[in-house]
Amino acid sequence: MFFWDHPFGRKTFKMTPEYSAASRALAANQGFYNGFLAAGLAWALWADRFDLKVFFLGCVIIAGVYGAMTAKRTILYIQALPAALALAAVWAAR
């Protein structure tokens, strides 16, 4: 979200300056959404609430699967898989 239209973001996501500038608003929206997911997960950990952990990890998994289907397949491994492993750990610890 913050480095999308900067050299670090362009290098990380293999974008041209033109593409990163044109898609900056979309990236900011996605980053804002992911920030809320992170805040929800932090809240779930702080509150030690099983239901909140499951809900927010489920949201991350669904977003990762959708991203893999619509944008880039590696999102499945970078986002959805770690969330699925965390969800399994939450269930196992219950």
Global pTM value: 0.82
* Dihedral angle over CA of 58, 63, 68, 71, nearest 10: 180
pLDDT tens digits, one per residue of 63-94: 999 999 998 899 999 999 999 999 999 999 99
- Alpha-helix runs per DSSP H in 13-72: 17-22, 24-47, 50-70
| Cα 4 from Cα 55, distance rounded (Å) | 28
Residue 30 confidence (pLDDT)? 87
Distances from the Cα of 71 to the Cαs of 2, 43, 52, 68, 88, in angstroms?
20, 29, 27, 6, 26
Domain coordinates in residue numbering, the chain: 7-93
